[in-house]
């Protein structure tokens, strides 16, 4: 009981901090501390992720970090894949799924270590920088390519 609460707290912190780690800790947490089998742990993890992701999104959106149009498009375009993934998981045996999940954890671990060691990718921008960059990107999208527009303007004169 205390174990699962601790895992939940830890999963939430890394989810908020690194953007990964909700499910990757929920699944083993549910399996180890509540004794769910691999299929049930994965299914229950998916449900638990929803409120966590909603809250994380709300907080990040207030910092101006969420690119809403892209997020919506990503979400909608992922539904077929998600249904396929669930069907595939249920077609596999629990043992195979558990070993595959362990493999996934190793991959995520290596990825994270790589990301944090490659200094360029973790050179964190300040919040203000990120917001300014957003506006710049938004403007670029609204007006097409500023360089071309500028050239056109010059040609007209």
Partner 1 sequence: MQVAAEHWRYRRCKLATIGTLAGLFSGLFGVGGGSVIVPLLVLWLGYDERAATATSLAAIVFIAGFAAAVQGLYGNVHLLDAVLIAVPALVGVLIGTWLQQRLQTRLIALLFSALLMASAVELVLK
Residues 1-60 within binding reach of partner 1 (CB under 8 A): 1, 4-32, 34, 36, 39-57, 59-60
Question: Which tokens hold the place of 132?
Answer: 């300014």
Residues 70-99, interacting with partner 1 (CB under 8 A) = 70-90, 98-99
Q: Which of 64, 67, 57, 71 is nearest to 127 (CA)?
A: 64
- Out of 96, 107, 132, 151, point to the residue binding partner 1 (CB under 8 A): 107
Nearer to partner 1, 80 or 150 (CB): 80
Question: In whole angstroms, what is the distance from residue 76 CA to residue 100 CA?
Answer: 26
Give yes or no for residue 110 binding partner 1 (CB under 8 A): yes
The footprint of partner 1 on this chain (CB under 8 A) covers a number of residues equal to 111
Q: Which of 13, 51, 5, 12 is nearest to 29 (CA)?
A: 5
């Amino acid at each position: 009981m205390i174990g699962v609460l601790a895992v939940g707290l830890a999963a939430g912190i890394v989810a908020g901090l690194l953007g990964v780690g909700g499910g990757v800790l929920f699944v083993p947490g549910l399996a180890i501390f509540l004794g769910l089998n691999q299929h049930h742990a994965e299914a229950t993890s998916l449900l638990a992720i929803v409120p966590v992701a909603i809250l994380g999104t709300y907080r990040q959106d207030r910092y101006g970090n969420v690119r809403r149009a892209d997020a919506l498009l990503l979400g909608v375009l992922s539904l077929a894949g998600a249904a396929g993934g669930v069907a595939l998981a249920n077609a596999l045996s629990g043992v195979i799924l558990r070993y595959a999940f362990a493999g996934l954890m190793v991959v995520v671990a290596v990825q994270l270590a790589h990301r944090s060691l490659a200094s360029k990718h973790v050179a964190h921008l300040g919040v203000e920088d990120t917001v300014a960059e957003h506006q710049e990107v938004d403007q670029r999208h609204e007006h097409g390519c500023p360089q071309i527009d500028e050239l056109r303007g010059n040609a007209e004169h």
